Copies of this chain bind each other. A is one copy, B any other.
């Protein structure tokens, strides 16, 4: 039997197969704190709770393509930076049927969330409350901008916790923070983003020196406007 014959005779139906989904962690820094895009569940299970935008993976669709499709269709967004986070495969994580979910996470400037939130009234920007320091880990809770608790469906609190941990871990050796900022930004804005992600205050001169030494920044020569004090220089992420 050669390979062609083998493949024709192969019976993929022999074993029962799980469903595979992708869930998206679309995160940003809003008003000095981490936030993630949530969608109100309008079906069981978890009716009325809040979930990460997600959807099933098509049989002829790669995982990455599914993540991008769901991002456009359910979150009205198109993030330049998307990364696979982890695959959640507990047997009972979804009461409907066996669902294995591949979590992806993306970082977006806060300004990009506004149009999505307007286009779809079931979307919500959940402010995240991280009850641990550093990379200790554990679930994370969400609240609405008004301060009401947003109960999370499935294991999505654990997914958010893992995303925060991964983000904190990558922050100082990887240029991820730039995905959260507009094209040009001040060093102060960059520091604010770092502090929001880490949940700690940082030393200003040391932070500035470290960032400039990394070689990730290019000075534009322009300055911010609209301040009532000395305006700071605007920088740009040098992608080279």
Contact = CB atoms under 8 A, between A and B. Distances in A.
A45 interface: yes
A3 B45 contact: yes
Contacts of A89: 57, 62-64, 66, 102
Contact of A62 (B6, B61, B91): B91
A45 B7 contact: yes
A16 interface: yes
A19 interface: yes
Q: How many copies does the complex hold?
A: 2
A116 B222 CA distance: 65
Contacts of A1: 44
Interface string A1-40: 1110011001010011111100000000000000000000
Grouping DSSP codes into helix (H, G, I), strand (E, B) and loop, the A interface class, with mixed when no group exceeds half, is loop
A202 interface: no
Given A15-B19, A18-B17, A44 B3 contact: yes
Interface of A: 1-3, 6-7, 10, 12, 15-20, 43-45, 47, 56-64, 66, 84, 86-87, 89-91, 95-98, 100, 102
